[in-house]
Amino acid sequence: MGKKELKVAFLLAIRSLQRGGRTSVILTVLIVGMCFTNMIFLPSLFSGIEQSITTQLVDYEVGNVFVSPELGYQYITNLTDTLGLINGMPGVERATPHISEGATLKYRQRILGVSVRAIMPNDEKYVSPLYTKIITGNYLGNTDTGEVIIGKPVAGNPAIRAEDEFQPSLGGVRVGDSITIAYANGYTKNYIVKGIYSTGWSEADSSVYVSWTDMEQVLGQQPLNYADDITVKTAPGYTDEFVKDELTQYGVSQKVQTTNDLLGKSLGAAFQSFAIINDVSLIVSIIITTVVLFIVITIKTLNSRKQIGILKAIGVDKEVIMHSYGFQVMILAVLGIILGIIVTSLLAVYMALHPIVTPAWSATLYLTPMDLFTNSLILFIAAIVAGYVPAYQVSREDIQSAMRT
């Protein structure tokens, strides 16, 4: 079939769409657009949840590379030398230690068990965005003692009764209030609340942070030369695997794992379930889209059988007729895909401003240009298949049968 015949088929397609009525065209485009949105919404939501969990784990728990004690040891010992070694490695932006102690918080009539985490506040800024999540008050300083920052769920809301709380809290602590922390080792100390933060990550928000200097006083270790773990932030341009290999190769004897290593162990099954749900959702959406478009084009071609008979009678080749209906489907599919991309993008913007928030994570739609291109291509191919099958069948009818319809 030559270019001239294709141009004729395209012209017939345009004229047919114009004569078919705007309502029919608009409804078909709307169907294709909603099919596209349905195809991409659920997978993008699950991808958003996965990205949210991964980001929050990196930001507030394990960093890009996580260094934990050797097998058989409770702590990372000789902390000063270990930090110096790690921070001197290529690809390492900053490494910072953590140590956690079980404790009981007391405020007025409220008593709450929490984990108190000691950090080196200035170094922590390079590894974690915790300092940007302060909603009232201020972040910790390296030499702060007797001051603490607490998560919003720990602080609580004075307007909510204890029996109505989703999780136990101190009932409405504010910046400047004094709380008592009784540590598991028997050490008790009064603290001033310096800041209240909210990260959206339950493990971090349910904790209390003090400076490393303060924890030295609590544990009676000056300097405090051991830690529960060290989180490492990789420098731009370096991969987590590269930094891990560098650390293990050049003398870091502790257990070194990347974020992917840890996710594979703890959340690998959950992420695999997300992938299965995404695949099922995509397959179902493709089937629905193909069937809907097949029905729409079949009805359109059956209603146009007399017109097809007239075109054949005046000498128009059946392939030109078939391709004219194929072009109609392509035009409707392209318009529907554009509409679907616009709707999906608006949903992504809306959910970025109003994410789905749970006590454990928050999520938005995670869209990439490749996702949009792949789904557009799949839907376009499905539309062509759905359009050409009825067009092929009707275009093969003889003139008399078509004219009698």
**Domain-located, residue 308:** yes
> For residue 223, is the peptide bond before it cis, meaning its omega torsion is within 30 degrees of 0?
yes
**Domain-located, residue 313:** yes
Number of structural domains, the chain? 2
- Which tokens is 87 given? 């921070």
Position 331 pLDDT exceeds 60? yes
**Domain-located, residue 261:** no
CB-facing half-sphere around the CA of 101: CA atoms within 13 A: 24
**Domain-located, residue 86:** yes
Give the rounded percent of residues in the chain with a pLDDT score beyond 90: 36
What's the CA gap between 83 and 67, in Å, rounded? 10
Q: Residue 21 in 3-state DSSP?
A: coil
> Given this model, what pLDDT does residue 364 score?
82
What's the CA gap between 329 and 316, in Å, rounded? 20
**Higher per-residue confidence, 19 vs 80:** 80
Residue ending a domain, choose from 228, 253, 278:
253
**Domain-located, residue 157:** yes
Residues 299 and 355 in one domain: yes
Q: Are 326 and 388 in contact (CB under 8 A)?
A: yes
Identify the band that residue 395 occupies on the pLDDT scale cut at 50, 70 and 90.
low
Residues 229 and 289 in one domain: no
Q: Which of 82-86, 176-180, 274-278, 370-374 has the lowest mean pLDDT?
A: 274-278
Q: Are 144 and 74 in contact (CB under 8 A)?
A: no
Residues 162 and 195 in one domain: yes
**Domain-located, residue 64:** no
Per-residue pLDDT of 123-144, as tens digits, reads: 999 999 999 999 999 999 999 9
Residues 180 and 297 in one domain: no
Per-residue pLDDT of 231-266, as tens digits, reads: 999 999 999 999 999 888 887 777 889 888 887 666
Per-residue pLDDT of 4-49, as tens digits, reads: 666 766 776 677 776 666 777 788 888 888 888 888 888 888 888 8
CB 97: neighbour CB atoms within 10 A? 26
What's the CA gap between 134 and 59, in Å, rounded? 15
Most confident of 80-84, 117-121, 296-300: 117-121
Q: Which domain holds residue 300?
A: 3-57+269-403
Position 369 pLDDT exceeds 60? yes
Residues 232 and 319 in one domain: no
Residues 139 and 228 in one domain: yes
> Given this model, what pLDDT does residue 160 score?
83
> Given this model, what pLDDT does residue 396 score?
64
Position 174 pLDDT exceeds 70? yes
> Given this model, what pLDDT does residue 316 score?
62
Q: Are 133 and 199 in contact (CB under 8 A)?
A: yes
Name the percent of the chain in helix, strand, coil, to the closest 5.
Answer: 55, 20, 25
Identify the band that residue 225 occupies on the pLDDT scale cut at 50, 70 and 90.
very high
Residue ending a domain, choose from 202, 221, 253:
253
Residues 172 and 49 in one domain: no
Is 383 exposed, middle or buried (CB count within 10 Å of its CB: 0-12, 13-18, 19+)? buried
Residues 18 and 94 in one domain: no
Residues 136 and 35 in one domain: no
Residues 300 and 386 in one domain: yes
**Domain-located, residue 200:** yes
CB 19: neighbour CB atoms within 10 A? 9
Q: Residue 148 in 3-state DSSP?
A: strand
Residue ending a domain, choose from 220, 253, 286:
253
Q: Are 8 and 15 in contact (CB under 8 A)?
A: no
Residues 99 and 16 in one domain: no
What's the CA gap between 22 and 29, in Å, rounded? 10
**Domain-located, residue 23:** yes
What's the CA gap between 298 and 304, in Å, rounded? 10
> Given this model, what pLDDT does residue 235 score?
92
> Given this model, what pLDDT does residue 192 score?
96
Residues 229 and 361 in one domain: no
Q: What is the pTM of this model?
A: 0.74
